[in-house]
Structure 1
């Protein structure tokens, strides 16, 4: 028999089918056997295994990986032994089959393969390590070490271009990671207690902490490992594989001084191993954080050079090295584009932008893409890049791109703005059609209002970004009806559009004022929009007093009518301000109450104006005008009343002087119905009494 495939398994129903299916070509084309040792499964693992082989054996787990591996090897009858785990699969078995069927195999006693450790499926993150997995079954091959079992085998070793995909450390599977951490770390801690200076166990414990995302403990453990190497005066080059882990753990757990430490670690590691590709990548990344863009460029370019030929690197074939950054080329291209953008080298930035191929990094580079092309005034080239790389992305990503483009359009001079809009008006999508309308507006197209109406009918403005507010602005400028097009648009969205318009257009105040003055009526669709327009015009506070009074009056009237439609009488009458949508609606409740009280209870009227102001201080100026009006009216009434009192008193005095006392008393009686406790009137009454007494005495003498 040519080959024995040996496995040990426990509760692997989730993975086993995938693994064993990948082995079928070998089992079908090579004289081989599949040996599976189960160590205590409680799920369907055994049933799945028996679908592929009748050589299923049972041995209780003894907490020693190497011991269990050696049990599986003990069942092997093949000339060669292939070791694979249930959470792995072989990507392409053809080279194994070719090797075993060739005389070439007679020259070797072991085979190295690539183990691709998948850490994040969604982001396609992985690390690669070269590992011996196929061995001549000469009776001496075995495993040693309770954890991270180490194969003891003979050389020469051939490196085959075969990849095992390993799914055992998917970082998003927290349950799995915790299970493996607890199992692995407990054994490692036991072994370290027996042999505290064991570099391999100390290093693997640091790795275990990191896989469990406990970077504080991982950093302490890797520093301890490094110290052991130093204290024992060992050759650091033999242990250079710890440098990337040490630098990475500092990155995740270090303090504010970490970047300089990481830089020093990377440089020391590179001095020991010139091919250490991971350290070049990390040095490039750290150099960006410290704004050392020259060093970042140099490090990243060396990383790219090594990556282009990584399969021929000696460290790629070194089983001590796990390479973590072979999947980071796109990230490197992005970082280089970022570096050149910050150096204002926009041509170089675009060179690396064009190397990006994944949607993830193209999306991340949207801002750099837009700004770099526009800085160079390469409008047509930007549109070409967009058509080739961006237009195919989903709608949400496109909107992010458009938002960056819109920001730059707004900053551009008029000539560039018109050209960019024109360039992005040729596709068959809503953004292009918006730009077509913008082009027509700039060219004073006479049927623009009809074109906007036609466009809006097929749009749901509730789901469009704020820059579609241009459509509303154009309609306002044309004095066309905006109320119908906004009748099914939420108030929040309308407000978002108006904020955009108010910030973008310098003439918004005058344009909105003129539009409002021509569109005042009690139709609900009108008042719901007008109160928003009113509010923005008022808050901008660029109106003269007459204009401000007019708009404030319309704002209050529209607001009161609006709340009377959307809220019940119970809420309005009982002033249930905590049950309405916002402070503005509460403001209108109090203003409504104030208006009701104005004509018959001036004191309460003032109280409610002040309550409205306290709740919604944005309308301080308008409320101030109402309070001033009341004060002026009160003063005018007071002056009128004082004049009345003076005239009455003159009349009373004249009657008294002319001895017309009855007429004087009659006027005093009427006056006291209006004015109480007037001291002058009391004196008048005393004078009348004296006069009457004097008249009686005079009559008596006669």
Structure 2
């Protein structure tokens, strides 16, 4: 017996050798020829092909896949023909060779081959990947292809179902241009095929199904849903005959998280096909997300049964359905455990989780496993947790232990663990809950854990900063954004944490705290949601001042003024607000108008901008301003004579009339520094930054 392998190719230099290599092995089992029809390659495809076969033929591409298939099989001289694409890989070489050498194959005219989409690696693809069963092998002169795209072999019965697997790489491709080309090409051909008024109903349904599939692969779910609905509406009166349509429908509903509709369609599908894996996946997932846990349990148990039957080859994979959900087995087991937990069947939940093979999944859900043990009082199972604690699961375990467990429950856990990561976590939390603080040794232990894991944990940040706010300098090395988000959440979760930050900010007004850390604390207070009303205006203006200071220190003037697109939206908002504030003592109408124009730039701070807008207008004595240059010269003379208090009194009297003048305020700031009145100097500097013109303020900041 002789086997011909028929391929049509074009510009496949990246894939072709991977396909051809295993085909050479077939010669160990059966006489094999490789027939390649090239439709216009401009790369090294033909050169590669010549290393494996001399049967290479050239035909111009005519936008008709069926025609090209028929040309390729016309060159074949074998008793049987296997059709492959250049982005496919024959996995079961020996199985195919043995099949063709057996008497069994002679009883059939064609055979189904399993096509598994590539997923991570070859072994995972054949064992867990999406599977489509297609007629790809047939006796010579028994098949003719039809359809200009997604061509179908018009074959002769009987048909043999085989376990021969081919891995398809076509959609594991990082070449965007190639994928876009395939998408547009296939879609154009499908719509062209749909225009044929002589299409039978079955073909119209199939074409609309393929259009939906093409859009889905392009991630255009709305269009994919549009065309699967067309296919479904035409097929629904005999949906059992077109079960692949409702399968696609369910898959799209699942991706769209439309669980109510998915529940209906999955049940409808199961009336016509009650042994199909995917429909139980869809039914169980819909019930799970709709909190119908008893129904979800029954569906998931069916899924597990048919998954096992499929692996044992007890269920033939038919050509009417593609299997998409094999890889979700561990997720289904986890969801099944959640269902048992919701039904308070704690031992069943824990026993179910033991069947999960994916350790990473278990590690990510370690806090849930701990919860099962605690709520089910399965104390002798505590040992399970220690093997699941890593730098990623640590956070959720710690949060659960801190937020939800009583001192008595913590004591029972300690009694049943004795050692290990969980023991350390629980012992630390228990000590904190009993004493409302930690000792120095425990603080050092927390810092060692953070350094070992190179990761901040919010509960530990809370403990450290409550022990000593100065520990923020240790924490900041793990990233400003990370620390900022944690501190915002702590301000939201713990009322006393707001007091810690407010106290620190007040204490450090006399010290030049690192402005970036101060910005983090101020922002956390504002966004945490628990800031007292009487503090909101003060904290917001301090935030704008410190943030603007940090911007000027980080960027040059050209960037701030002319290239602001480089900055973050928050930085641009702060600059805009600072510019608006500079009109407060100059032009009240322009000041209010500018504030209203920027109120929606950064939505996080809308309520705070509204507070500023509501400030009473400032009445300014503009006539007195004309006298200021001479007055400032006189004040400078007095300062040179070291009559600091006299100069300060004159400045205060002048400010009572003009309210704000940058030069006058700058003199006041210098005097306060000379008089060692650091707190007042800090407040004066804040006013200078907030209300001075941008040019004046930038110069001031750069000289500090």
In the superposition, the TM-score normalised over structure 2's length comes to 0.65
Structure 1's unaligned 5+ residue stretches are: 613-621, 627-702
Report deviation, 1:37.
Answer: 1.0
SS of aligned partner of 2:11: coil
Aligned to 1:184: 186
Cα distance 1:370–1:470, how it changes in 2: closer, same or farther (>3 A)?
same
Report deviation, 1:26.
Answer: 0.8
**How far does the alpha carbon of each residue in 1:578-611 deviate from its partner, in whole angstroms, 9 at most, with x for none?**
999899999x999xxxx99884446269779xxx
2:206 to 196, 203, 218: 203
Report deviation, 1:221.
Answer: 3.4
1:409 to 402, 405, 408: 402
Aligned to 2:62: 62
**Do the aligned residues in 2 keep the contact of 1:422 with 1:435 (CA within 8 Å)?**
no
Aligned to 1:164: 166
Distance in 2, Cα, partners of 1:493 & 1:224: 48
Cα distance 1:600–1:13, how it changes in 2: closer, same or farther (>3 A)?
same
**Do the aligned residues in 2 keep the contact of 1:5 with 1:32 (CA within 8 Å)?**
yes
Q: Residues 571-610 of structure 1: matches in 2 within 5 Å? A: 599-601=652-654, 603=656
**Do the aligned residues in 2 keep the contact of 1:112 with 1:159 (CA within 8 Å)?**
yes
**How far does the alpha carbon of each residue in 1:672-698 deviate from its partner, in whole angstroms, 9 at most, with x for none?**
xxxxxxxxxxxxxxxxxxxxxxxxxxx
Distance in 2, Cα, partners of 1:407 & 1:102: 61
**Do the aligned residues in 2 keep the contact of 1:370 with 1:405 (CA within 8 Å)?**
no
Distance in 2, Cα, partners of 1:180 & 1:562: 50
Distance in 2, Cα, partners of 1:301 & 1:209: 31
**How far does the alpha carbon of each residue in 1:157-177 deviate from its partner, in whole angstroms, 9 at most, with x for none?**
433321111122449765444
Report deviation, 1:535.
Answer: 11
SS of aligned partner of 1:165: strand
Distance in 1, Cα, partners of 2:407 & 2:118: 51
Cα distance 1:368–1:459, how it changes in 2: closer, same or farther (>3 A)?
closer
**Do the aligned residues in 2 keep the contact of 1:121 with 1:170 (CA within 8 Å)?**
no
Q: Residues 154-553 of structure 1: matches in 2 within 5 Å? A: 154-170=156-172, 175-192=177-194, 193-213=196-216, 214-229=220-235, 236-249=239-252, 261-310=261-310, 316-358=316-358, 361-362=361-362, 365=365, 368-378=368-378, 381-382=381-382, 384-391=383-390, 395=391, 397-398=392-393, 401-403=394-396, 405-417=398-410, 426-427=419-420, 448-449=439-440, 452-453=443-444, 456=447, 463-473=455-465, 475-476=467-468, 524=512
Distance in 1, Cα, partners of 2:573 & 2:252: 52
Paired residue total: 577
**Do the aligned residues in 2 keep the contact of 1:81 with 1:136 (CA within 8 Å)?**
yes
With 101-110 and 128-137 compared, the bigger mean Cα shift is at: 101-110
Q: Residues 604-643 of structure 1: matches in 2 within 5 Å? A: none
Cα distance 1:104–1:205, how it changes in 2: closer, same or farther (>3 A)?
same
Aligned to 2:145: 143
**Do the aligned residues in 2 keep the contact of 1:563 with 1:585 (CA within 8 Å)?**
yes
In the superposition, the TM-score normalised over structure 1's length comes to 0.65
Residue 7 of structure 1 pairs with residue 11 of structure 2: no
With 198-207 and 312-321 compared, the bigger mean Cα shift is at: 312-321
Distance in 2, Cα, partners of 1:473 & 1:158: 70
**How far does the alpha carbon of each residue in 1:48-96 deviate from its partner, in whole angstroms, 9 at most, with x for none?**
1112112211112222222222222222222222211111111221111
**Do the aligned residues in 1 keep the contact of 2:366 with 2:389 (CA within 8 Å)?**
no
Cα distance 1:420–1:536, how it changes in 2: closer, same or farther (>3 A)?
farther
SS of aligned partner of 2:77: coil
Aligned to 2:586: none
Distance in 2, Cα, partners of 1:427 & 1:239: 56
**Do the aligned residues in 2 keep the contact of 1:10 with 1:40 (CA within 8 Å)?**
yes
SS of aligned partner of 1:14: coil
With 63-72 and 141-150 compared, the bigger mean Cα shift is at: 141-150
Distance in 2, Cα, partners of 1:186 & 1:581: 50
| Rg larger in structure | 1
SS of aligned partner of 1:61: coil
Cα distance 1:69–1:418, how it changes in 2: closer, same or farther (>3 A)?
same
Report deviation, 1:563.
Answer: 11
Distance in 1, Cα, partners of 2:103 & 2:359: 46
**How far does the alpha carbon of each residue in 1:143-195 deviate from its partner, in whole angstroms, 9 at most, with x for none?**
33333333244444433321111122449765444433333333333333232
Cα distance 1:206–1:567, how it changes in 2: closer, same or farther (>3 A)?
closer
Report deviation, 1:97.
Answer: 1.8
Distance in 2, Cα, partners of 1:59 & 1:537: 71
SS of aligned partner of 1:238: coil
Distance in 1, Cα, partners of 2:499 & 2:226: 66
Distance in 1, Cα, partners of 2:490 & 2:166: 58
Q: Residues 660-671 of structure 1: matches in 2 within 5 Å? A: none
**Do the aligned residues in 1 keep the contact of 2:281 with 2:299 (CA within 8 Å)?**
yes
Cα distance 1:279–1:442, how it changes in 2: closer, same or farther (>3 A)?
closer
Q: RCO greater where, 1 or 2, for CA within 8 Å and sep 6 or more?
A: 2
Distance in 2, Cα, partners of 1:596 & 1:466: 49
**Do the aligned residues in 1 keep the contact of 2:3 with 2:33 (CA within 8 Å)?**
yes
With 111-120 and 88-97 compared, the bigger mean Cα shift is at: 111-120
Q: Residues 121-136 of structure 1: matches in 2 within 5 Å? A: 126-136=129-139
Cα distance 1:411–1:14, how it changes in 2: closer, same or farther (>3 A)?
same
Aligned to 1:674: none
Cα distance 1:416–1:25, how it changes in 2: closer, same or farther (>3 A)?
same
Report deviation, 1:2.
Answer: 2.0
Report deviation, 1:292.
Answer: 3.0
Report deviation, 1:20.
Answer: 1.1
Structure 2's unaligned 5+ residue stretches are: 562-570, 584-647, 666-678, 684-704
**Do the aligned residues in 2 keep the contact of 1:20 with 1:52 (CA within 8 Å)?**
yes
**How far does the alpha carbon of each residue in 1:90-145 deviate from its partner, in whole angstroms, 9 at most, with x for none?**
122111122233444444443322111347889978432222222223x3443333
Cα distance 1:425–1:443, how it changes in 2: closer, same or farther (>3 A)?
farther
Cα distance 1:178–1:597, how it changes in 2: closer, same or farther (>3 A)?
farther
